Amino acid sequence: MKKNRMNAPCTIILAAINVIVFFVLSLRGMTENGMFLLEHGAMYVPKVIEDREIYRLFTSMFLHFGFQHLMNNMIILALAGWNLEIEIGKIRFLLIYVLSGLGGNVLSAWWEVITADYAISAGASGAIFGIIGALLYIAIRNHGRIGEISGRGLIFMIVISLYYGFSSGGVDNMAHIGGLLTGFVSGVLLYWKHNRKSRACFDR
């Protein structure tokens, strides 16, 4: 069982990709500069709609505004992603991560169109909120816990994170909410509780 607890390669790979992309871009320019990130795939709704650059919904998930932004996201990814990947498996973990990142960007884009308030955005936080949303669903299914994480702890984390986002400037709150909801729904669709025992016995 200890071997299983250490088996979360997708979490490590995703974190490594984010870090590598950040340092490669840091050698070419200022990652804190919105226009620089826009040139390298950041999210900007007019570009997506008018120029049909749909790829930005995906590429923006791997870009960060500065080292602190990167580290904040990677720490949460390492902690939350590790637990989710072990619990739900590699493929379903990756599906939740990618779908949540896309879901967060789609809701953010919709909100910007509604409010006509456009901004350059980037970061893995929509996908990470999706991981937390999936963990919350799994904790609910398992009587309030998933491993060493409690459902109450996850709710507290969500509330604090959203409060910080809404009380601070420069935070894409709709991406967080969209990722959270997408992750929760993805957890509902992809997690089957009866697999837990069989996985503990036969996981390879």
Q: How many CB atoms lie within 10 A of CB 28?
A: 10
Residues 105, 45: Cα–Cα separation, whole Å = 10
173-190 vs 125-141: helix crossing angle, rounded to 10: 40
Higher-confidence position of 11 and 164: 11
Residue 165: band (very low, low, confident or very high) from pLDDT cuts 50, 70, 90: confident
Question: What pTM was estimated for this model as a whole?
Answer: 0.86
Catalytic residues: 125, 176
Structure confidence by residue, pLDDT tens digits, 170-191 = 788 999 999 999 999 999 999 8
Taking alpha carbons only, the member of 183, 200, 7 closest to residue 94 is 183
Residues 159, 153: Cα–Cα separation, whole Å = 10
Residue 52 Cα to chain centre, angstroms? 24
Structure confidence by residue, pLDDT tens digits, 50-63 = 999 999 999 999 99
Tokens of 107: 């809701």
Residues 98, 100: Cα–Cα separation, whole Å = 5
Give residue 23's identity as a one-letter amino acid code.
F
